[in-house]
Amino acid sequence: MPTLTSEELDRQPERLLDDARRGMSDIGTEAGEPVMLTLPLGKHSGSSTERLELAVTLYERDVLSLGLAAKVAGLSYSQMIDELGRRQIPVVRYSVEDLDRELDFVRTLAGSR
């Protein structure tokens, strides 16, 4: 897997896309430390199972939205929802704060009758 310094990326930013088109991953470094990893997602990116597992993991960790996870997995939006359901991964995720706000709003509606 090629390693590119930040200086190399500044001079050749197109290299990331070129490598991805060839199915190659890259690690970008700054001051000798890795700061990014690129993964190809096109036709040369590995099996559909690998892409699905990556998409599910990144969605579950809240790195990707549902729509982007579906694209990474090569699935439609509804197929991704079904897949997450099979794995018992919630599609609608509310934080405690969001839920409290929603409940407060509902209470104001109920009180306005």
Pairing mode, if any, of strands 33-38 and 3-5?
unpaired
CA angle 34, 63, 106 (to 5 degrees): 150
Per-residue pLDDT tens digits for 41-86: 866 676 788 889 999 999 999 999 999 999 999 999 999 999 999 9
Q: Where in the chain is the domain with CATH 3.40.1620?
A: 1-46
Per-residue pLDDT tens digits for 21-33: 888 889 999 999 9
Per-residue pLDDT tens digits for 69-78: 999 999 999 9
Asked if 72 and 54 touch (Cβ cutoff 8 Å), the reply is yes
CATH class of the structural domain 1-46: alpha beta
The amino acid occupying position 107 is R
